[in-house]
Amino acid sequence: MRVGIVGASGYTGAELLRLCAGHADLQVVVAGADTQAGQLAANLYPSLAPAYPDLALSTVTADDLHGLDLVFLALPHGQSQQLVPQLVGKVGVLVDLAADFRLRDPQLYPRWYGAEHRAPALLDDFVYGLPELFRARLQGATLVAAPGCYPTAAALALAPLVGAGLIEPSGIVVDAASGVSGAGRAPTPTTHFNSADEDFRAYGLLDHRHTPEIEQAVGAQVLFTPHLAPMNRGILATCYARPASGAWSPPTTESVLGALQQAYDAEPFVVVSEAAPSTKATFGSNSAHLTARVDPRTGWVLVLCAIDNLVKGASGQALQCANIALGLPEQAGLSAVGIYP
């Protein structure tokens, strides 16, 4: 199948190139990049040289993508809204990795993203691409909005417990730390090596734009605080919730772990265990590692999830969704096993 990647020069675009190189059914024929147009992908990312020795990055238009079997959009927020209306019905499957079509309510975009949505009529046509929670809708889908990295970790941790009625759907706290690659390839004053190294900071206090997406995916109210950790990759989400009131019996560590195990028992990319999850264990993989505890002393329910923010949190999940939508083996081109050390 012929594949186009728009935004191929960024970290998620480069990760898509890497993953597609290991996929027997996909061939990247278009690699779009504005600021790096004219460069060989192998020169910008030497790690890609064995698979793409001659692939040139280029400026692309919608016409260059028409007729492709699969198109990934790995663009900054806001740019997909301009391009998507020109691609609907013109490509086989379109997977957008930005936040442009993740939220169902168009009124949330001015509040959290600072601008009116420019294609609100298309929001309901997109399937939210978190396979472990919404796989049935992905089958045969032609428009997919791949989730954000923080919402992926939070939703995998919390959604089964909210759905099972084990925790209160309000007052949930999500503290999550991400590696610096989550901020993108372009350096900023806070992601420059001298700023990020040996530092750990919170940001987006009370107003991070992933908050409504987490609430939409989990089906609950959350207080979300992201943190920047001095590592290249990875997300560790630590979630706190109160036991559901009116339950026949209060939840226990065994019952919340059991709910997670029941929800994900057949999932190839989710590991539920008693061990505390580690970002290093997920490095380079499309897997999520989870655990849970109930503290009898304070009454809080604690759920943790670790993922690689560029794989399960972005490009790997986008490819997983594409596989499902195209009727290909869901695990094609993806590894559940991380790289260690």
Look up residue 33 and give its DSSP letter.
Answer: -
**Active-site residue flag, 149:** yes
Which value, to the nearest 10 degrees, does the dihedral of the CA atoms of residues 163, 166, 171, 172 take? -70
Q: How far is CA 31 from CA 11, 168, 324, in A?
A: 13, 45, 22
Report d(CA 187, CA 269) in Å as an integer: 31
- Strand order across the 172-178 sheet: 201-202, 222-228, 172-178, 235-241, 301-307, 288-294, 270-272
Q: What is the DSSP string of 287-326?
A: -EEEEEEE-TTT--EEEEEEE-TTIIIIIHHHHHHHHHHH
Nearest Cα to Cα of residue 216 among 324, 89, 129: 129
Nearest Cα to Cα of residue 279 among 218, 211, 214, 340: 340
Report d(CA 288, CA 277) in Å as an integer: 9
Report d(CA 240, CA 326) in Å as an integer: 37
Q: Where are the beta strands (DSSP E) in 45-186?
A: 70-73, 93-96, 127-128, 143-145, 172-178
Catalytic annotation, pick one of 20, 149, 239, 321: 149
φ/ψ (deg, to 5) at 30? -135, 125
Report d(CA 285, CA 299) in Å as an integer: 34
Residues identified as active-site: 149
